[in-house]
Structure formats: C-alpha cells, structure tokens
Structure 1
C-alpha cells in the first residue's frame, strides 16, 4: 500500500502557534521580498536573463550548495530571482552557498522550449567551473525550486534521463541526488488544467509543439515522464496554497514511488503559495530544516 508521508504532524510542532496566528502571505507580500546583494554575478550566455547569482557564506569552505530556481508562472510578469534573494540570504548566513538561477522564460526571446530548458541545464552545469574558485562542495547539492521553478528544479535533477534527441540533452550533467519542490507544478501532462487555471499557461508555451519527430512533447520537458530518476523528491505545499495544492504533491509522490523513486510530502501549516519561499514566514523553519536535512546538516 502506498503511503504518503505528511510531515505536517511534526511540522506543526516546529512551527507552533506562530504559524497558526500568522496570516498567509499574498502575491503582493511575495513581490516585496528581497535580500542582500549576491557575492557574484555570473553570465552563462549572452542574453540578459542568462546569468546566476552566487551567495557565498563567510569563512572557509567547502560549502554545501542549494541550486535555487525561481517561479513566477514561467513568465517575466511575476518577478523571480529578486524574491529568491530572501531565501538565499538566510541560507548563506547558515553556511550554505546558493546558486540563484535566472533563465529565459516563455515570453522572452529564445525562451520557452527548448531555450528555457537549455538555460537551466547550462546554469546548473556552470557550477562545475565555479566550484574550486568559490569552495563549493558538489558532493552536497540540493535543487530547490518554487512553483514553476519547482518544475524546473525537478527537471534539472532528472535530466540525466533525457532522451539523446532532446535539444537540452548534455553528456554528464551535474548530479543532483535530492530536490525540494516548493509548491511545484511538475507534471505537465496531468497538471495541464491546473497550470492553465493557476498560471494561464498552455502546454505549447512550456513544452513546445508536437511534430512528427517529437510527437510527445512531455518526454523531455516533464519530470514525471523522466521517472525513475534515482533521486529523492520532497514536495512542500502550504496549507492554503491554491496555486499548487497539496494534492499535486501527493499525486507526484505516488507516481514517483510507483516508478521506484523515493518521495515525501510536507505540509506547511497556515502557509500559502508564497510563505514557501519567505525567510520571514513561520513556514521557513520547516522549509530550511528540509534543506539542511537534504544537505546532511
């Protein structure tokens, strides 16, 4: 019998009454998030959105690494990398390096399929070049993504499963054994209606048009089609998340487990779709604890 592990029971004890008392964060609260400036701005391409921000902890490494991928419904409309600096600042203060990824979204020149996926792949693999100079420990890496970024983080950790015909395929991608999806929308096939209602995105905008050579557009764009990926996935959802409710995480976990992977589901008591990424939210105690656990801290 498939058992979905809900960490809400222990999470409620961690968050305590503060989570119950705090009002769930709104979109406007999310858009107001920010953090300290990054330590490095590193371009991996010529386009304005082809860069990463490195948040490096003080002191001597090697440091464990969070590959952080923002959401925003795959569009430039809802912010993204700036808001992730809030999480990145807190994690860096805890001794964790953060690789904050920007990429071309569907409504930017060259974005969508395949450019968005090629960007994420290039950004993640750029870590290999930076590791020695910035004392980054690539044996301790976790991908963390929010909303649309949850989809891309799960894809990034699974892309060693890409078919060789995919334009995003590369040889020997950076290995990422664990991924934490914060309100993610990662099953592009089964969640197409939810993605449409929550983000007003069509499959074609995210996965491209089918063709004779590529009749199934989900095979190289949806992490659910790349199972088993031999990774552990943690699917985190706010109690009041209406963009990506906990049922989406449960459905993905069932599919991952049926394929032979491991997955767990975490409920954030009192949290919305935006508390998931705010270091100022009571939910952060739970989220940061999951990140630290994934890194063996």
Structure 2
C-alpha cells in the first residue's frame, strides 16, 4: 500500500515512507461490496478505552491551531489545525487588498474523534500526536471534543443523548470554521479511536437516522470513516465484556433497563448499512476491545452492502492508534491516501 511521506514525531526531520510489514499484510482482509458515496476514573472499573492522562491540546509542529466552540461548555469545542504554509495562504485570502473576493481553496479534512470510554476526564489531547503526523504531511485536521460522563459539573455531563448531540454539532461546525479560515471543505474523513471509533461510525450513519432523532439531518456527511479499536456494537458491548460498564454509563443503563430505542439510534451495527467506505482496524493484542469486535462489525457491514476494509495488525494493542509510529496508524494513513485524502495544495 502507498504511504504519504511524514515525520516520526516532534523534532525528527524525516522518515522513509511507511509500509506495513509482510506479516501485517497477510492478515489484512478486504471486504468489498457495492460501495456508496454521497473526576479520575475508578481503577476498579472497566479499563478506559484510551488511557493516556489528559492534558490541554498543544500546537503540532509548524501548524496553526484555532479552537472553535459549538456550545457553551468547555468540552463543546474543536481544534482546526492547519499546516503552516496553508495557514499563511488562507490568512492572506481572508484579507484581500481589494477587488473581488478570491476563490477559496478546497481542502480535504481528517476529523479526529478521541477515545477514553466516554469518560469526562479524557479529551481531544490524546489525538495530538497523530494530528501532528497529519499536519506535518500537509493535511488539515479537525480535532473534535465532546462532553463525557462523570463530569463534576452537571452542565458538563454527557451520556445519551448529549455526547452524541455534541459530536454531531461539532462535525456540523466544520464548514463554518473552514470558511472563517478562508477555506472550503473537500473530502471529509472521520477517524475515531476506541470510544471515538463508535462515534466516528455513528457520525457516518447520521443520514440514516429518523427525523427528530439526536443527530439527524446532518450538515456534514463524511466521505470516509475509520474505526480504530472501536466499540462498534453498543448492544453487544453493553451486555458483557470489559467495556460493559462504560457502555451502560454512556447509555443510561443496559438494553434491558432502558425503555426506549436509544440503543437502536446509537449503535453503529444497528444502523447498517452506512453507505460510507469504511476501514475497520485493530491490533491483535487488544485486550480492551477484543479483535472479534472489529471482525464481527466488518462482516455485518459487508453483508449489509457497505464497502469495508478490515485490518487486524499483528503485535499492536489498544493504545497503538494513538502512536503515529505504529503499524495501526500506518494502515490508517495508507487507506486514507488510497481513498483520495490529499495534502492541502494537491492538484485535483
């Protein structure tokens, strides 16, 4: 698979193009059907779906970060991160010397959705390193945050439906944010990790929701979606397994306890087909969201008619997608490149 050139991380000048090792390629399964376009956690509870300690977001190297708000609460924000050269060009376009307004450049965008078991203690800072990897290669990033569960202030509390409504509002703000930066959205790929993988698939499925449902009638419909070690079936995950508690806290109870259709409106598996090309990727050493969650979803999505690629990467664990030097992340970058997500300024 092809790969875009990039940097291993901060202050490293260059690296060779990334390739999946032969062993990894041996377990990449492409499932293709008719494609369509269009408070700290309790250590005794289920392990969080992303375990890095939170910190405030920082500017990736040689990039310009602007934070936008889609609501009044601190978590109702997203960072627009522009590669430095693009930021300079768009700034010039925002302040023309005179005459007609310039034609705004069209840019592809990768939307990042963080994990953390939907716990309010985690935030978008866990995506800082992979955001840097993207912007170092000239790709625009929208790093999305949302309210989680267990917040000290009730106004900051997420769960159903607030967490989902936040993710929807945050994605729908993207065109406005790009417009303010002097840019026009091109192709949009939503990439989520763990709990964020669930949200990424759900964001890609919003157009299937009935009128009046949380998140229905999207302004932005993703062109591509990636779930990295995602909880792709909330019904199954909420019934048993290591993330059972996190899912039930998110949804306000188990499937037998809640009396409405929230699981049907929230679980990506229940919303199939999405009609959006999908990469389902995980590590074979993931003990939090076990690999069968990925394979089961990929098989169900393929059977429903979706264009799906499944990649189970040897030697990678649950936190590997947060590491831009991992083979899991290399698989994501390669798939996005193959599907046409291009650096800003690339001739279309």
Match of 1:3 in 2: none
The TM-score normalised by the length of structure 1 is 0.82
Q: Distance in 1 between matches of 2:283 and 2:172?
A: 31
CA contact (8 A) 1:207 1:217 kept: yes
Structure possessing the higher radius of gyration over alpha carbons: 2
Q: C-alpha offsets along residues 187-237 of structure 1, whole Å, 9 cap, x if unaligned?
A: 11122245x52363243x2234689x9632212111111111211111110
Q: C-alpha offsets along residues 90-141 of structure 1, whole Å, 9 cap, x if unaligned?
A: 1011111110011001223341111111100100000021222335453311
CA contact (8 A) 1:97 1:136 kept: no
Q: Distance in 2 between matches of 1:173 and 1:28?
A: 29
Match of 1:120 in 2: 167
Match of 1:21 in 2: none
Would you say 1:285 and 2:330 are equivalent positions? yes
Q: Matched residue pairs, number?
A: 274
Contiguous gaps of at least 5 residues in structure 2? 1-18, 26-48, 87-104, 343-348
Match of 2:15 in 1: none
Q: Give the deviation of 1:288 after TM superposition.
A: 1.9
Q: Give the deviation of 1:161 after TM superposition.
A: 0.9
Alignment of 1:5-154 (within 5 A): 11-13=20-22, 30-31=52-53, 36-37=59-60, 39-60=65-86, 61-77=105-121, 79-108=122-151, 109=154, 110-154=157-201
Q: Distance in 2 between matches of 1:95 and 1:293?
A: 16
Q: Give the deviation of 1:172 after TM superposition.
A: 4.1
Greater helix content: 1
Contiguous gaps of at least 5 residues in structure 1? 1-9, 17-26
The DSSP-based 3-state class of the residue aligned with 2:78 is strand
The DSSP-based 3-state class of the residue aligned with 1:145 is strand
The TM-score normalised by the length of structure 2 is 0.71
The CA RMSD measured in Å over matched residues stands at 2.9
Q: Which moved more, 1:242-251 or 1:92-101?
A: 242-251
* 180 and 158 in structure 1: CA distance in 2 versus 1, 3 angstrom threshold: same
Q: Give the deviation of 1:64 after TM superposition.
A: 1.2
